[in-house]
Amino acid sequence: MTTRMAALLLLRRLAAGGAVTRLQQPYAGLATAAARQDALDATGEESGRPDKGNKNRWMELPPFAPVDAAAAARAIFRGQGGDEIEGNSNSTAIRWVRRCCPHLPASLVQKLFRLRKVKKNAVTAETSSTDASAEQFRLRRVSAKDHLVPGDTLFLPVNIQESPVAEKARKFDNRNEIDFLRSLEIYKDKAIIVVNKPPGMPVQGGVGIKNSIDVLAPMFEENSSDAPRLVHRLDRDCSGVLVLGRTQLSASILHAIFREKTADALADGTQQVLQRKYVALVMGTPRHPKGLLSAPLAKVLLQDGKSERLTVRAGPNTTSVQDALTEYRVIESCPRGFTWLELFPLTGRKHQLRVHCAEVLGTPIVGDYKYGRQAHQDWTPLPVPQTVDEELLRKQRLPFGLVLGGGSVAEEQPQLHLHCKQMMLPDISAAVQGLQSEDAERDFSGLEKLSFVAPLPLHMRLSWEVLKSVDK
């Protein structure tokens, strides 16, 4: 209701003050309130008194209209209406500026607040005999942590467009690198980008990591200063379907959907809104052809005192334990003790599939030297059949230090054989469009499910061909 009142107040201002340039799409950029500019220029920023010497020009952000991403994700996940999505929000001024201006570096936004360059409207209504409702505009300084209420409008200096906002941003002008990264795209719409992440490429930066998906994400956009955002993770040596949010709102909703998936699984829920299927080659054969693995995970510190790993841990004295659930199904048992599995993570824990395969099933994943080192001590490469396609044997250097080819079961040191083959998600773009519409009744029960499939990487395809020919 508060949001509707704010909208009516804004419309009344427009009628009284003249035409105001409005954003064509929410959060797409800045709008200049031209009709009110003279009034704002003549308004003392702190006192409210006219100041003819004030030369500041201001750019107006959209009125604050909170959307609870977690509530939206729950409504989408359960296929319900979204009546509870709008309401009171704890969003701060700096969060709203970053949402409306994603192209501005975080350091610049913080600097604007430190220099007291961000203002908030302070509108007072005055009645007179000639005008039943006249409004006086005053600008007040707002701090980064100030909480906003629906209808609050923030203003930034108009000359911010002249600032070197990209002075610290990395330049992406290598055409080969850009073309390679975009060749990984499986799907793209207004809300998300889905890529087939190659093995060996880190998803997130860190010590000693120069090129990662989060750093290179701006390459996915042609004419946009808003870089896609990570919403989930894949291990560095894992490959397959990776989803990025193209806007802060879509990324926030996706984050919440992944969290909702884990919570639903632990509560014995049956929701199938988010589904992921992995393919893995393991050493050994599970006792049962399919099953549900329920084993909590905990971090342990290794002997060097610096490194850590996850392990199955349960008991009353265990701390920092996270419950983890994985469904599995045997695809095919192969000679020499190898097995192809389908893995369906119901929760989203770090290294969940690798630990469950190694410690619960007793079948470590091929190429997993962290959780299956002992099983690889007596590793013997398998012979390559003469009938194998030469394309599978060819090695090629790729951008960002990646190598195409090698790492199959025919190698002395195979790569990790774990691949996210398929993911199913609700149509986030349609959901975001519904959230941004003026329709108060939002129903997500009819959202279409989108399915994304990533082909196996070269080393796993070669291993499949090698294992098919063994002992034949």
Three-class DSSP category at 79: coil
CA distances to 85, 164, 174, 356 from 70, in Å: 8, 35, 38, 29
Alpha-carbon span 45 to 71, nearest angstrom: 37
Q: Residue 83 catalytic?
A: no
Nearest-CA neighbor of 275 among 154, 450, 141, 472? Answer: 450
Cα-Cα-Cα-Cα torsion 424, 430, 436, 437, nearest 10 degrees, comes to -150
Q: Both tokens of residue 243?
A: 């989803």
What crossing angle do the helices spanning 93-100 and 248-266 adopt, rounded to 10°? Answer: 110
Nearest to 394 by CA among 459, 460, 310: 459
At residue 244, what are phi and psi to the nearest 5 degrees? -125, 145
Residue type, 201: M
Q: How many CA within 13 A on the CB side of residue 33?
A: 24
CB atoms within 10 A of CB 347: 19
- C-beta separation of 273 from 77 below 8 A: yes
* Helix axis angle, 2-17 to 34-41, nearest 10°: 80
The bridge status of strand 192-197 relative to strand 418-426 is unpaired
User: What's the Rg (C-alpha) of the chain?
Assistant: 27
Mapped onto helix, strand or coil, the DSSP state of residue 288 is coil
Please tell me which residue in 235, 237, 264, 368 is annotated as part of the active site. 235
* CA dist., res. 373 & res. 385, Å (int): 27
Q: What is 347-413 written as a DSSP string?
A: S--TTHHHHIIIIISS-PBTT-TTT-TGGGTT--PPPPPTTS-GGGT--EE-GGG-EES--STTSSS
Exposed e or buried b per residue across 58-73, where buried means at least 16 C-beta atoms within 10 angstroms of its C-beta? bbbbbbbbbbbbebbb
The answer to whether 381 and 203 are in contact (CB under 8 A) is no
Tokens representing residue 397 in the block: 């250097």
- State the catalytic residues: 235
